[in-house]
Amino acid sequence: MITSPLPDLDAWVAFFSEADLPVLRHTAQQLTELHANANKSNARVISSVILHDPMMTLRVLAYIEAKRNKSRNTDITTIERALMMIGMEPFFRDFQNLPLIEDQLKAHPRAMLGLLKVINRARKATLWARDWAIYRHDLDVDEIMVATLLYDAAEILMWSFAPQLALHVSEQQKADRTLRSMTVQTEVFNISLYQLKLALAQVWHLPELLTMLMNQDNANHPRVKNVKLAVDLARHSANGWDDAALPDDYKAIGELLHLSEEAVMRRLGLDIEPRVR
């Protein structure tokens, strides 16, 4: 566990690139059950389990890239395709006895709660991103889902390996909602989590397309907007559906989907009056 901030981005990247990423206990249990009933398992079923756990998703993508064959020129950008490339038996063989997040954070219950909130937020964002990608007739909805699920992976890593520091960031932001996330993160971690995310994507050789979808420099690309707006909506709604940033989210989502703000809110299942201009 890291109890004081590392000096710079390179130090953080070096630490996480060697870390044994823990997964949720529920993920490990489900995979054990699927292995025991291999006749009922296939890549689609297993990928649905993996895609509920950002850390497990990271492990699989990093694994497939580490095993990349020199003759393979194309990136594997979805979990289902990764599983098909690995094979069922090799997958179950190499992904057993994984470290568990619950064990790692046993002495840090508040951090565990913070981590679960981020994972829950990522899951919600992924479902919204999937819905909008289908509506937009995106060429590969699964890619959008993976990029959305991993968008806040750096924050999950901090909760997992530097729980006291992550808690400090969270408490500062709760105390003052006007504080910019990047400012607080830089003060506490010596880096921004956005910097860390992109740096780790390079070290782990994550598919270029996924990195592009998580990169704010590509903000005007419709697929990037699809990811970012889902992440923003999940983050803001986590503060309550009266969060001041939500009206702007509805407007931006409407522009992406070519829907009115009222139609966006109905699509989200909200019975809320649109803002008065």
The secondary element (H helix, E strand) that includes residue 112 is: helix 109-135
| Alpha-carbon span 38 to 139, nearest angstrom | 31
DSSP 139: S
Q: What pLDDT band is residue 98 in, cutting at 50, 70 and 90? A: very high
Claim: this prediction has a pTM higher than 0.85: yes
| Alpha-carbon span 154 to 271, nearest angstrom | 34
Question: Could you tell me which residue, 128 or 68, shows the higher pLDDT?
Answer: 128
What pLDDT shows up at residue 72? 59
User: DSSP of 142-207, one letter per residue?
Assistant: HHHHHHHHTTTHHHHHHHHH-HHHHHHHHHHHHH-TTS-HHHHHHHHHSS-HHHHHHHHHHHTT--
pLDDT at 127 over 70: yes
| Alpha-carbon span 221 to 133, nearest angstrom | 13
pLDDT at 8 over 50: yes
The secondary element (H helix, E strand) that includes residue 61 is: helix 54-66
Q: Is the dihedral of CA 254, 259, 260, 262 positive or negative?
A: negative
For residue range 42-89, list pLDDT tens digits in order: 899 999 999 999 999 999 999 998 877 655 567 888 999 999 999 999
What pLDDT shows up at residue 273? 58
What pLDDT shows up at residue 216? 81
pLDDT at 208 over 90: no
What pLDDT shows up at residue 277? 45
pLDDT at 16 over 70: yes
pLDDT at 226 over 80: yes
Q: Dihedrals φ, ψ of 229, to 5°?
A: -70, -35
Q: Is 23 helix (H, G, I), strand (E, B) or coil?
A: strand
Task: Tell me the average pLDDT of the chain.
Answer: 92
Inter-CA distances, 19 with 12, 172, 238, Å: 11, 27, 29
For residue range 135-185, list pLDDT tens digits in order: 999 999 999 999 999 999 999 999 999 999 999 999 998 898 788 889 999
| Alpha-carbon span 213 to 146, nearest angstrom | 10
For residue range 21-39, list pLDDT tens digits in order: 999 999 999 999 999 987 7
Q: Is the dihedral of CA 179, 183, 186, 192 positive or negative?
A: positive
Q: What pLDDT band is residue 213 in, cutting at 50, 70 and 90? A: confident
Closest to 74 in 3D by CA, of 83, 63, 85: 85
pLDDT at 114 over 70: yes
